[in-house]
Amino acid sequence: MELVCIECPRGCLLSAEKTEGGVSVSGNFCPKGRAYAEAEITEPRRVLTSTIRAAGAMVPVRTDRPVKKSMIFALMKKIRAARLTHAVAIGDTIMENIDGEGANVVASASYGGEPCSI
Ligand code: SF4
């Protein structure tokens, strides 16, 4: 598998393959590239970005750490089913431990909450 390391702007072109003893990586200038390639080939993860429904708005959100790529559709379903009903500031946690491994969904923008009804 050919990969471009995204850990720094250098963008090393990596070659990674599963072997009997683990993962063989070449092309990395530093150990971060090896770790990145090993993760990509064994259990790729991504920060999930989405929006959550609120009254009169869609509020941008993201996970505060990378989640397993294999779980992304299930997590998107949970986010789609949720509704934000209170004000939040950027970085506030909206959904805790969404993946069962400690990743929280946090606000990427502030939201003022439900409109007042008097
Ligand atoms: S292998 Fe190291 S130097 Fe190369 S892109 Fe990745 S982090 Fe940067």
Considering the domain architecture, whether residues 90 and 58 belong to the same structural domain is answered as: yes
Residues 53 and 87 in one domain: yes
Decide: 12 in ligand 1 pocket, CB within 6 A: yes
Is 6 part of any domain?
yes
Residue 37 lies in a domain: yes
What pTM was computed for the model? 0.79
Q: What separation in Å is there between the alpha carbon of 64 and the centre of ligand 1? A: 23
At residue 33, the pLDDT reads: 97
For residues 56 and 102, membership in a common domain is answered with yes
* Residue 112 within a domain: no
Low-confidence ranges of the chain (pLDDT < 50): 116-117
Residue 97 has what pLDDT?
97
Residue 79, in any domain of the structure: yes
SS3 annotation, the chain: CEEECCCCCCCCEEEEEEECCEEEEECCCCHHHHHHHHHHHHCCEECCEEEEEECCEEEEEEECCCEEHHHHHHHHHHHHHCEECCCECCCCEEECCCCCCCCCEEECCCECCCCCCC
pLDDT of residue 114: 60
Domain co-membership, 64 together with 91: yes
Tell me the residue range of the domain where 60 lies. Answer: 49-107
Domain for residue 115, yes or no?
Answer: no
What's residue 115's pLDDT? Answer: 54
56 and 32 housed in the same domain: no
CATH code for position 72: 3.10.530.10
Ligand 1 near 6 CB (within 6 A): no
Task: Confirm or reject: Cβ of 11 under 6 Å from ligand 1.
Answer: yes
Question: What integer pLDDT is reported at residue 112 of this predicted model?
Answer: 87
For residue 73, being part of any structural domain is answered with yes
Task: Give a yes or no: residue 89 inside a domain.
Answer: yes
